[in-house]
Amino acid sequence: MTRRRHDWKPSAEQMRLWPAVSGNAINGLGEEHFRRPSPIYWQAPDSTPHGPLQLWFYQRPMPDGMAEARRERQKWIDAPLAPIAAERAERAPAEWTREVERVAKECAADIVGVTAMKAAWVFEGSSVPPQRWVVMFGVAHDYEAMKTAPEGPSNAEVIRQYARAMRAAKGVASWIRSQGWDAVPHAGPSAGAFVMIPPALECGFGELGKHGSIIHRELGSSFRLSCVLTDLPLVPTARDEFGADDFCTRCRLCSDECPPDAIPPEKQLVRGERRWYVDFDKCLPYFNEHGGCGICIAVCPWSRPGVAPTLLTKLARRRGE
């Protein structure tokens, strides 16, 4: 894995495409007041200032396994959704919630949570989805593949997991529709109408880490997200705060290992909220030039298989539990 090359510089070829506007300004870095997020990347390339960079990214040489991973992802993107059954099944919200979790796990999801949709998560310029609930799914990366970041095997692994995340979302949406309720699936990397990290935090997937990704108490930082929007009667799942945010104040592995120095050691003010933030203008050129980058999630100690339980025990002991 490439390590600590803080002298790294992006190519002139890529930087010729860089727009006049800073991605950090689009993201609201330094803004004191809340506003909804602005679309920035993984959108229709002609709709955002950084769109030409996205097209450049897609022309990077493909590593081994990438073409197959992209075919698998496309298969699940193209998979048809079941029609909505004419007769609507009725169950108690707690029972529906258990069933949705069961079906999601059968459809390859590793973790599942439910939270109410909030307008605050919807991109400026997009309509707030009418469905009441966001059912979130998480799928874990293979750690050995991610350890190679930013090399090809890690980038192909990310796409494989996007495929699995789409499979979970499509499978659950189809099952809900077979019960007579509407359901709309969504999976990355293409951004939809809303950001997925805030609902994933809200439904109990963990805490935001210094590297801008979620730290889950079992999967660590190494997983992808997808979701389903629905009005099926459900019970929301609780937030899960177990000390990861505090742990990040004492750890600097991701900051130290990020080649373009894109991870500030302190929280930043972003659209009225002080939180961990990755410098978009520093991260993106490195990410693009390497066909992807997951160094920060691979080096996070929470991501190493078997380490999370030990860290949880230590944190609980520190809190006197």
Report the interface residues with ligand SF4, using CB under 6 A. 209-211, 221, 247-248, 251-254, 258, 260, 262-263, 278, 283, 286-287, 293, 295-296, 299-302
User: d(Cα 217, Cα 307) in Å, to the nearest integer?
Assistant: 10
CB-wise, 228 or 248, nearer to ligand SF4?
248
User: Which residues does residue 231 pair with via DSSP β-bridges, in sequence order?
Assistant: none
> In angstroms, what is the minimal distance from the CB of 224 to ligand SF4?
14
> In angstroms, what is the minimal distance from the CB of 261 to ligand SF4?
8
Q: Residue 116: name the closest of 234, 271, 36 by CA.
A: 234
CB-wise, 180 or 189, nearer to ligand SF4?
189
Q: Which residue pairs from 244-248 have beta carbons closer than 8 angstroms and sit at least 24 positions apart in sequence? A: 244/206, 244/207, 244/209, 244/215, 244/217, 244/302, 245/207, 245/208, 245/209, 246/315, 247/215, 247/311, 247/315, 248/209, 248/210, 248/215, 248/276
User: Which residues does residue 29 pair with via DSSP β-bridges, in sequence order?
Assistant: 270
> In angstroms, what is the minimal distance from the CB of 64 to ligand SF4?
21
Tokens standing for residue 12? 């002139």
CB-wise, 185 or 212, nearer to ligand SF4?
212
CB-wise, 122 or 158, nearer to ligand SF4?
158
> In angstroms, what is the minimal distance from the CB of 126 to ligand SF4?
25
CB-wise, 102 or 252, nearer to ligand SF4?
252
Tokens standing for residue 132? 């009441």
> In angstroms, what is the minimal distance from the CB of 65 to ligand SF4?
19
**What does residue 10 show for φ and ψ, rounded to 5 degrees?**
-70, 160
User: d(Cα 5, Cα 191) in Å, to the nearest integer?
Assistant: 30
Give the start-end residues of each E strand in 156-314: 183-187, 207-208, 214-215, 223-230, 268-270, 273-275
> In angstroms, what is the minimal distance from the CB of 241 to ligand SF4?
14
CB-wise, 8 or 68, nearer to ligand SF4?
8
- The whole-angstrom distance between residue 3's C-alpha and the CA centroid of its chain comes to 23
